[in-house]
Amino acid sequence: MSALEPIPLDVGPPYAPRIAVLGLIPTVLVDVPICIILIVFFLAAAAVNLTIFIRNKSAGHNFLPSTVLVGFCTTRIIALSLRIAWATQPVNVKLNIAATIFAAAGVVLLFVLNLLFAHRLLRALHPNIGWLPAANYLFLFLYAYVLVCLLCAVTAAVVSYYTLAPDQLYKCRLVQLFASTSLALLAFLPVLLVFGALFYPGLRRPEPFGHGSISTKALLVLTTALLLTIGAAYRCAVNFAVRPVWFPAWWHHKACYYIFNYDLELVVVFAYALMRFDMRFHVPDGACKPGDYAKGLHVYKRVSTLAKVHDRRRADVEMCCPPSRSSRTCGSDYGSTQSSTSRSSRSGVIRGLSEVDDLRTVTDTTRSSYPSTYLGSSYDSQTRSSETAGQRRARTITVITIGGIVDAEVVTDVRRRESEDTKSELSNDE
């Protein structure tokens, strides 16, 4: 039986569909090889995510979304296996129903994952909004709404196979249009949420989480959400553009069916796995209020770029300072500065946030330590009497330049002490 040849309509219930279905009726020559190849890819994706989950769990790193991807790959393997069985028995309407149900049931898991990650980005970028009870209830409603849309779509599809009454078929079609449109909007909703969170001016400082930068996380969610939106919009448009079973359009054919469904979903699954979303979107267990996301940052030991610059400057200072009390003081001051810098940059947060804190810490510490260290305690009375004011000024400016901090207060203090030293030398000469 060819793909365009309709199934006899007088056999049932369940009755054969009177409208063209996505992918048409499968055939052994075309659909079976394609389904086998896709099954191999989904098996590989499931194995990768399951391996990541097991290794993370053995290390005490719990990340349940990895198991969600394993479940999604399992549903896709079942759907493709049922399509192979349907290809061998094209007149078996029950296999058609089972394949349709599993094909529609799997993709909603990816919708839920994208909504979850968009919520975490909202909490990180805008803690005053993302942690509100209203926001939590809104996302819980969205998760439940995805489930309701799936149940409506599956119920309407199954009922349409067991009736020939025009009014019931019309109602089933309305339900299917409502469900497919809602799912397409839900697939696109993470794009709106992430863009809104990125460009809305925040009222308080963001709270980074997981490994990597916020921009990489946002780009990953946006890319996967757009790919899923393309597939959901395709299925929704096909439901609106109905054709009879004996006269299908180009969008009903097998190439469009496999590309806009399984291929796009494979790209999404491997993108999450290869980009290590288990590290990027991980949050501490029990996080329920602002500040909880930052508790898990000690796991990711990413050193800030600014901290490395401070290390090099400290080495330069140690080489330039003479092996005297000044060098010991210089090292102790930079040691305290570096310890605070390392504590703030050890967390593995995004570059912009961690380095601002490092710069603030170094500036505050240097502002208080440089005048007392390099102008007061670094020289004893004998050194002061043997050096001229110009030499002391040159040494002090050199130390400040090596430190890399150009502070107006430090320069003012240097000039003030230079003036005092000049006056004291003139009085001694007299």
Q: What is the 3-state secondary structure (H, E, C) of 19-85?
A: ECCCCCCCCCCCHHHHHHHHHHHHHHHHHHHHHHHHHHHHCCCCCCHHHHHHHHHHHHHHHHHHHHH
The mean pLDDT of the chain is 77
AA letter at 318: E
150 vs 395, residue with greater confidence: 150
Highest-scoring range by mean pLDDT, 43-52, 96-105, 379-388: 43-52
Q: Sorting pLDDT into bands at 50, 70 and 90, what band is 297?
A: low
The contacts of residue 104 (CB under 8 Å, 6+ apart) are 150, 153, 154, 157
Q: Sorting pLDDT into bands at 50, 70 and 90, what band is 394?
A: low
Question: Which helix (H) or strand (E) is 219 found in, with range?
Answer: helix 214-240
Which of 4-8, 161-165, 373-377 has the weakest average pLDDT?
373-377
> 207 vs 27, 127, 164, 220, 286, CA distance in Å?
53, 7, 57, 18, 16
Go through the chain and tell me how many residues it has: 430
53 vs 303, residue with greater confidence: 53
Asked whether residue 381 carries a pLDDT value surpassing 60, the answer given is no
Q: How far apart are CA 8 and CA 21, in angstroms?
A: 15
Cα dihedral 231, 234, 239, 244 sign: negative
Asked whether residue 299 carries a pLDDT value surpassing 90, the answer given is no
Residue range 214-235, pLDDT digits in tens: 899 999 999 999 999 999 999 9
Which of 43-57, 365-379, 387-401 has the weakest average pLDDT?
365-379
pLDDT at residue 304, as a whole number: 34
The average pLDDT across 115-139 equals 92
Torsion of CA 81, 84, 89, 94, to 10 degrees: 40
Torsion of CA 47, 52, 54, 60, to 10 degrees: -170
Residue range 5-23, pLDDT digits in tens: 444 545 668 888 888 888 8
Asked whether residue 145 carries a pLDDT value surpassing 70, the answer given is yes
Classify residue 33 as exposed, middle or buried by CB count within 10 Å of its CB (0-12, 13-18, 19+): exposed
Question: What is this structure's pTM?
Answer: 0.67
Q: Cβ distance 87 to 32 under 8 Å?
A: yes
What residues form DSSP beta bridges with 393? Answer: none
The separation between CA 61 and the C-alpha centre of its own chain, rounded to angstroms, equals: 17
* Residue ranges per structural domain of the chain: 31-297, 305-429
pLDDT at residue 412, as a whole number: 60
Q: How far apart are CA 236 and CA 281, in angstroms?
A: 30
Q: How far apart are CA 115 and CA 142, in angstroms?
A: 8
The average pLDDT across 397-411 equals 46
pLDDT at residue 419, as a whole number: 73
Topology classification of domain 31-297: Rhopdopsin 7-helix transmembrane proteins (1.20.1070)
Classify residue 279 as exposed, middle or buried by CB count within 10 Å of its CB (0-12, 13-18, 19+): middle
As a 3-state breakdown, the chain gives helix, strand, coil percent values, each rounded to 5, of 75, 0, 25
Residue range 25-37, pLDDT digits in tens: 999 999 999 999 9
Q: Sorting pLDDT into bands at 50, 70 and 90, what band is 404?
A: very low
Asked whether residue 255 carries a pLDDT value surpassing 70, the answer given is yes
pLDDT at residue 407, as a whole number: 46
Phi, psi (deg, nearest 5) at residue 300: -100, 105
Q: Cβ distance 44 to 52 under 8 Å?
A: no
Cis peptide before 13 (omega within 30 of 0): yes
pLDDT at residue 32, as a whole number: 96
46 vs 284, residue with greater confidence: 46
Q: How far apart are CA 50 and CA 44, in angstroms?
A: 10
Q: How far apart are CA 369 and CA 70, in angstroms?
A: 56
